Structures are given as structure tokens and as C-alpha cells.
Structure 1
């Protein structure tokens, strides 16, 4: 039996742990544990009542256990909720491209904004209550639940971020049109420069958002922003130093050490790396960088400017040039 599921969030490359466990999105870890124990009792070889105990054991080992292990850890659960929230925002921008196979989802589309959560719970439970009654239909039920989750996330984000456009009178429309016309030449002039610096700008934008999240003590969100930045520029020492601090705040010492060490090897003089190294040294020691890295450290940061830090980072984006 294949456990490859290609519907709902799975189609986007996201493992829908909530669909696997038959628990709605935002369900707290303690409730997830209770549901997991019930499922495990049904599927475990010692207590399974099905004749196909081998299949039940495979479902438990390959689907149920990994999902429970992920959602039972508070840090993973928080990060997963953020991933789902961000996914919903992206889906809300491309609703016309979403193809849904489950007829149950139509009830979500028809529900008003103030009844969406209640409708979602009812539709989800209607499928989840019989999810593990028949082994052969478990993956089908998971796929249906994941489609329900996908549409719910999309509609939830759409309702939360829907902004009505103001009605413009004739004078305002004319003024707006003239303003757009006058700005055309300026935007075209700067287009080439923007294209050349697009990756640089994206990284800096991620750093700014990460700093804002750190200021709010939202370290999981900061980590996600910095992961995106490092996908664009894996050798950015500032990103490595900052994500190291974010991991340190989440008590993920191993990940913190990996990134701080990487940042230190790239540029030991980067002020963010220096701060992060001092923060982690009481816990574990960061080894000295190689001679080549030390030589390169005399150069400016990856973008030619060394930001100062604010708070932990001492004004990352607001420092004056020396």
C-alpha cells in the first residue's frame, strides 16, 4: 500500500500532520497526545483488531508516529503553526489556481467569515470521526482532511487580510492617474538597479523582519525569515549570527552553535557574529576560523557595509556609517 498523498497541503510539499492525526489546525499538543494514544491503540500489533496487522503497523510507523513526534514538541508545534499561517497567506493570493476534489469543501466556501471556524470544525470532524475505522481508506481520509485544511487556511487568511478599496471621486481619480504617469519614468530609470540588487534587497528585507520579530520575542518567526535569507545568500555572516541568536533563545543549542560557527568562519569581525559568539560561549566554545576566513574578515560585510546592532543586535539597520 502506497502512503504517497498528493492532495491538500501534501500537494504543496507540506506534510499535513493534523490531517494524519485527525485533529483540526491549532489543536494544542496536550489534546493531540490523547488522540494519538487512541489511534496507536487501534493500530499497534498487540491491540489491533484488524486481520491486516502488518498494514496497521506500517501506518502507525510511517504516518502516525512521525506526525505525533512533530506536533508533540512545543517548538516544532509553534513553528508548524507559523508555516501553516504563512501558507494560508500565499494561498489567499492565488485562490483561482487552487483545484479541490472534495465536495465537503464547498461548505467552507459558502460560509461567512464569522462562521468559518465553526463550519470548519464541523466539516473536519465529519471526516475525522471515521478516519481510522477502515485501514484501506485511511490515506483517502487523510487526503480529504488535508484539502479541508488547505481551503480553511486560504479562506481564513483571505478574510483576515481583506481590505476594501476606497471609492474615488472624479478629482481623486484624475490626481491618482497623473501621479502614476509622472512616476513612470522614475520607476523605469531605477528598474535596472533594482534587478541587479534584488537578491541583496530580499536578504535585507528578511533581516529587517527578523529583527522586528526578535524585538517582539517571536523567535520562531525570526528563524523562518532568516532561513529564507540564507536560501538566497548562504554565505551571509550576519544571517548566520542572527539565526544563531534566535535558536539560542529557543534553547536549540546545537542549531545555534552550527550557525554561529558558520558565521564566525565566514567573518569573525561581523558585529552580529561577535555578539552571537559571546552569547553562546558560556555554553559551548566556538573554534577559531581558518586562516583564509580570518584574512577575508578584514573586508566589509557581504554587502559592503557592517551594520551595527540594536538591543541584541544594537541597531541592525539604523547605524551610522563611520
Structure 2
């Protein structure tokens, strides 16, 4: 059986790890780990309750190709935050072209018109999670439905999901009731800017940790729209991923000049300034060995941050 997931964020070539694990967009790392262990016990060959060879093979494929990579991408607070930021930017981009976004799942369609967006979203996620990996033949379909819910939520909520777990981004309220106020009209249709396609491709590359390719797309976007604050912020994020703190700071500065409320820049610029300040004062930040050649800017490549994000550059 082929595992085909082509709805929600997956339709736009963005892997929705929250949907694979069926956790809400504001789930904490602790909640994510608990959910992962539940799924792993159900799918692992040594503990699965599935009996047929086909079901066992499918369970193993889901675990190795989807569930394990999804947990790896969400297992730390930093990586979880990065995932939410990428999805939020994608939701904001698609909100501007909502006329072309197709929704197929019944729950996602209901979320489009729901009065209490947060309560409906969390309730729907909880219901789908109960069945996500019980009938293994339906798992891919349910992942698609959850990703559609995430996409609609971010589009309706202005892609304003807090990266701090348990904060006001997504709020569950058991006592919430439906409002009699009719839902707000859909936002006016806004045409793609010249840079939007480049930015979407770059976001996908960032999601896949392919930072060199993302940088190429974003540099092309900046040539078209040099005053695009979101583009500057994403370029800075890529430089940050590649441990080039000085270049990251330059682009975060540009992003904040154009948009003082830019979430990525506000999150990371103070940390970069702190790291650069420690380097200039010579406090316990080691530099890579110098071989006498002109090295690219690798500020923050060791010591306290280990490159802020850790991992290898790509």
C-alpha cells in the first residue's frame, strides 16, 4: 500500500510533523514526547497489536518514514519553535490567496466557519488522535485531515500561533460555547507578490534543512522585493542555521526596520547580539582553527552556542 499524504500542508510540499503525531500547534515538548511514545508502542514490530503481514509492514513503514522523523523534528523546544514559525509563515502566505486553497475534510470545512476557532480546533485534533493509528489503513488519510485542520487554523487565526506552549495562541476551554455572532467575512483576495513563490519554495527547503537551496530562493526573492521584511527574516534564519551570526544580524536588522513586530527577528536577534558580544569580549567562545585562508563568516561556530542550532551546515 502506498502512503500518499497530499492534503493540508503536504499539498504544498511542506511536511507537517504536528499532523503526523496529531499534536496541536502549541503542544509542549513534553506533550509531544508522550504522544510519540504512544504511537511508537502501537507501531513498533515488538509491541504492535496488528497481526497481518500487510498491517505490520505498513505500521513499520509509518514508524520509520514518518513518525520517527516527525518526533526528531519536534523533540526540542528550539526545533519545535522553528517548525511552528515555518508553518505560520506558510499559513500567512496562503491566507493571501485563500480563494485558491481547496479544503476537502469535513472537520476542516467546519473549522472554516466555526465561531470558536480555538475550541473547535483542539477538540477536532483530540478526536482524530484517538483513531489515527488504530486502523492502520486509514492513518495516512487521518494525517491529511489533521494537516488540513492546521492549515485552516493558521489561515483563520492570521497565522498567529504563539511559539510558547500553553500561551494564548491556541487555547482549550471545556466550558466554551458557540457564539451567536456570525463568523467574520473572508479576507479580501490578494494577488501573489513577485517574491511569494520563491519564499514558499525557500520555506520548504528550510523545513527539510536544505539551507543552501533556501538561501538561493530567498536571494532571488530579495532581488525582486528588496523591502520584503519576511524575506529578510527568513534569510537571516538561514544564515543563523549556517552559524553565520554577523550576516544573520544584518538581515534581522533589516527585517525589523521594515516590520518592527517580525516574530523571528524579535526571537533571535537578542541571542545573536549576546553571542557576538561574548565573542568580542573573549568569554569562553572558541573559534574554529585558522588555516591561513580567508574563511567565511562562521560567528558562533562553537563554545556556548555550538552554532545556536547545532548540527551541520548544509
Question: TM-score, length-normalised on structure 1?
Answer: 0.57
Aligned-residue CA RMSD (Å) = 4.1
Higher share of residues assigned helix: 1
Alignment match, 1:30: 30
8 Å Cα contact 1:88/1:156 also seen in 2: no
From 247, 257, 267, the equivalent of 1:239 is 247
Q: Deviations for 1:124-180, whole angstroms, at most 9, x for unmatched residues? A: 2332221111111111110111111111110111799x99xxxxxxxxxxxxxxxxx
Partner-residue secondary structure (3-state), 1:26: coil
How far the C-alpha of 1:228 sits from its partner, in A, is 6.1
How far the C-alpha of 1:48 sits from its partner, in A, is 0.5
Q: Deviations for 1:88-142, whole angstroms, at most 9, x for unmatched residues? A: 2112211101011212222112212xx1101112222332221111111111110
Alignment match, 1:124: 125
How far the C-alpha of 1:11 sits from its partner, in A, is 1.4
Residues 229 and 92 of structure 1: is their aligned pair in 2 closer, same or farther, counting only changes over 3 Å? farther
How far the C-alpha of 1:286 sits from its partner, in A, is 3.5
Question: TM-score, length-normalised on structure 2?
Answer: 0.58
Counterpart check, 1:53 vs 2:63: no
Larger relative contact order, structure 1 or 2 (CA cutoff 8 Å, min sep 6): 2
Q: Distance in 2 between matches of 1:237 and 1:125?
A: 40
Partner-residue secondary structure (3-state), 2:158: helix
Residues 280 and 117 of structure 1: is their aligned pair in 2 closer, same or farther, counting only changes over 3 Å? farther
Counterpart check, 1:80 vs 2:83: yes
Residues 285 and 135 of structure 1: is their aligned pair in 2 closer, same or farther, counting only changes over 3 Å? same
Q: Distance in 1 between matches of 2:85 and 2:68?
A: 22
Residues 125 and 239 of structure 1: is their aligned pair in 2 closer, same or farther, counting only changes over 3 Å? same
The number of residues matched between the two structures is 220
- Show structure 1 runs of 5+ residues with no match: 164-196, 211-223, 251-255, 257-271, 295-322
Hey, which bits of structure 1, 4+ residues long, moved more than 6 A?
none
Q: Deviations for 1:224-278, whole angstroms, at most 9, x for unmatched residues? A: 4514689xxx9x995257689x59948xxxxx9xxxxxxxxxxxxxxx8xx6863
How far the C-alpha of 1:55 sits from its partner, in A, is 2.1
Partner-residue secondary structure (3-state), 1:10: helix
Q: Distance in 2 between matches of 1:281 and 1:159?
A: 37
Alignment match, 1:219: none
Residues 53 and 237 of structure 1: is their aligned pair in 2 closer, same or farther, counting only changes over 3 Å? closer
Partner-residue secondary structure (3-state), 2:226: helix
From 284, 287, 295, the equivalent of 1:285 is 287
